[in-house]
């Protein structure tokens, strides 16, 4: 780990101000100290996580709000009672933060066991499922992407319980933890060339949250037709089960009434997509939905198209190193997060794939300008892992309403967009570096 940082900041030219620090990081004494500190942090994180997310719930003392779980429970109960699973969502589309169950019908059908179990037991089991998904997903990312000499187990413990976008899912009962696991599994299949399982994992993730379907650009560019086929079959089976279980009318309601709400221009502070940042730039649809702007629609669609197009453009069927393949998947994840109409703060756990990939590229000396990509990576980590959660923790709806009537409203909204801007910067830097990677014949991708 420390060697990777040293590579990122260490200088090749005389007079580089980072040279002494880089050499210091390479020293055995410094590596030992950092490793010791990391192990202490890992033990503390694991103990705290075990107490918060296992012991406390089993004793009935869990401190999380778990409001997202309540939406899932309401939908599961609606399935068992044969009522409208989207009733609560459609009745609470204003203001933006107060909505409800907005997943495809098959998800509500799969959640039925929650309605059949005692409430306390169901909530505890659900939390343990999310916890297992979080830890497993982080471990897969660490062990698949990071060098073997790095303390991957310790990093798994730290980021599973300290990185705010993934721990948010645990405190609030958010299903994004399950999507996070399937994205990690998709990464594993991508790196190992397992086409069938790759398509299945992306398909399952897309049946929960729509955005992962954009990862199909990776499959198309590598001409992995088996993966494309398994993705299509998975989506068809999931949709078919939803129709058989809940009827074609429920699917129609989801497509015609729920999806359009999700696709509205949305500048709420939790939305870190490019569309969210653009809406905040003009103070549009921040606290409540406003009529869509045609100009904004054109700009947002153009940005999304460019992001997806660049992610596809970088990928080639030719053989490249494992680290570069990880970088390609990471770039597609960034494109997915930036291109969506809604990328809530709790969706940003997938950025751990990006962070691990960036670290692997630097450690493997696969990038020409490691310092630039390291700075962009640190910016994403700090804005999403520190700045954004602090802002969320110290804000409230009454406070935001009061702020919206002051001269500080617009500057505050731009600060809220810091994670999205940092992701966009990393996307550009990473795309440039990956484009410079050599092909199998030895020529560069941009040559």
Residue 233 lies in a domain: no
Residue 256 lies in a domain: no
Residue 144 lies in a domain: no
Instruction: Label each residue of 10-67 as H, E or C.
Output: CCCCCCCCCHHHHHHHHCHHHHHHHHHHHHHHHHHHHHHHHHHHHHHHHCCCCCCCCH
Residue 375 lies in a domain: yes
Residue 300 lies in a domain: yes
The count of domains in the chain is 1
Q: What is the pTM of this model?
A: 0.90
Note down the domain range covering 342: 263-447
Spatial separation of the C-alpha atoms in residues 179 and 209, rounded to whole Å: 7
Return phi, psi of residue 438, to 5°: -75, 150
DSSP state of 346: G
Q: Which two tokens stand for residue 91?
A: 């009745």
pLDDT value at residue 5: 41
pLDDT, tens digit only, all 447 positions of the chain = 434 444 443 434 444 444 444 455 567 888 888 889 999 999 999 999 999 999 999 999 998 888 899 999 999 999 999 999 998 776 665 556 667 899 999 999 999 999 999 989 999 999 999 999 999 999 999 999 999 999 999 999 999 999 999 999 999 999 999 999 999 999 999 999 999 999 999 999 999 999 999 999 999 999 999 999 999 999 999 999 999 999 999 999 999 989 988 888 889 999 999 999 999 999 988 988 888 889 999 999 999 999 999 999 999 888 889 999 999 999 999 999 999 889 999 999 999 999 999 999 999 988 888 999 999 999 999 999 999 999 988 888 899 999 999 999 999 999 999 999 999 999 999 999 998 765 444 445 544
pLDDT value at residue 15: 42
Residue 386 lies in a domain: yes
Residue 36 lies in a domain: no
**CA atoms lying within 13 Å on the CB side of residue 417:** 24
For the chain, how long is the longest CA-to-CA vector? 73
Tokens 């409001």 correspond to: 67
Identify the burial level of 254 via C-beta atoms within 10 angstroms of its C-beta, where 0-12 means exposed, 13-18 middle and 19 or more buried: buried
Spatial separation of the C-alpha atoms in residues 278 and 237, rounded to whole Å: 36
pLDDT value at residue 96: 64
Whole-number Cα distances in Å, 364 to 57, 147, 172, 189, 324: 42, 8, 37, 21, 10
Residue 358 lies in a domain: yes
């Amino acid at each position: 780990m420390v060697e990777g940082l040293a590579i990122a900041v260490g200088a090749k030219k005389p007079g580089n101000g980072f040279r002494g620090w880089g050499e210091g990081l390479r020293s055995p004494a410094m590596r030992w100290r950092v490793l010791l500190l990391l192990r202490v942090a890992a033990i503390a994180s694991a103990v705290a996580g075990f107490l918060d997310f296992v012991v406390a719930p089993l004793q009935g003392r869990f401190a999380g709000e778990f409001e997202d779980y309540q939406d899932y429970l309401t939908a599961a109960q609606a399935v068992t009672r044969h009522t409208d699973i989207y009733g609560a969502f459609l009745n609470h589309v204003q203001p933006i933060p107060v909505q409800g169950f907005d997943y495809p019908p098959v998800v509500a059908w799969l959640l039925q066991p929650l309605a059949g179990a005692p409430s306390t037991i169901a909530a505890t089991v659900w939390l343990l499922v999310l916890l297992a998904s979080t830890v497993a997903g982080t471990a897969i990312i660490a062990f698949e992407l990071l060098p073997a000499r790095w303390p991957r187990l310790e990093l798994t413990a730290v980021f599973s319980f300290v990185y705010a976008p993934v721990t948010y899912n645990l405190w609030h009962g958010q299903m994004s933890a399950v999507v996070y696991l399937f994205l990690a599994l998709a990464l594993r299949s991508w790196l190992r060339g397992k086409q069938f399982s790759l398509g299945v994992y992306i398909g399952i993730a897309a049946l929960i949250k729509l955005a992962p379907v954009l990862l199909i650009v990776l499959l198309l560019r590598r001409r992995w037709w088996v993966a494309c086929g398994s993705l299509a079959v998975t989506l068809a089976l999931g949709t078919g089960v939803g129709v058989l279980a809940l009827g074609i009318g429920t699917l129609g309601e989801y497509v015609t009434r729920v999806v359009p709400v999700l696709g509205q221009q949305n500048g709420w502070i939790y939305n870190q997509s490019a569309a969210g940042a653009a809406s905040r730039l003009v103070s549009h649809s921040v606290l409540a939905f406003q009529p869509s702007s045609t100009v904004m629609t054109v700009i947002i669609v153009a940005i999304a198209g460019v992001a997806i197009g660049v992610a596809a453009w970088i990928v080639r069927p030719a053989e490249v190193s494992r680290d570069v393949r990880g970088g390609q998947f990471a770039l597609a994840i960034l494109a997915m997060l930036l291109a969506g109409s809604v990328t809530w703060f709790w969706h940003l756990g997938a950025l751990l794939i990006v962070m691990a990939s960036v670290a692997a590229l630097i450690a493997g000396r696969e990038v020409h300008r490691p310092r630039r990509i390291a700075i962009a990576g640190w910016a994403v980590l700090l804005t999403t892992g520190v700045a954004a959660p602090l802002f969320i923790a110290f804000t409230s709806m009454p406070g935001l309403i009061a702020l919206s009537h002051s001269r500080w409203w617009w500057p505050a909204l731009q600060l809220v967009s810091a994670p999205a801007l940092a992701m966009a910067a990393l996307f550009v830097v990473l795309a440039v570096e990956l484009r410079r990677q050599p092909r199998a014949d030895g020529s560069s991708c941009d040559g």
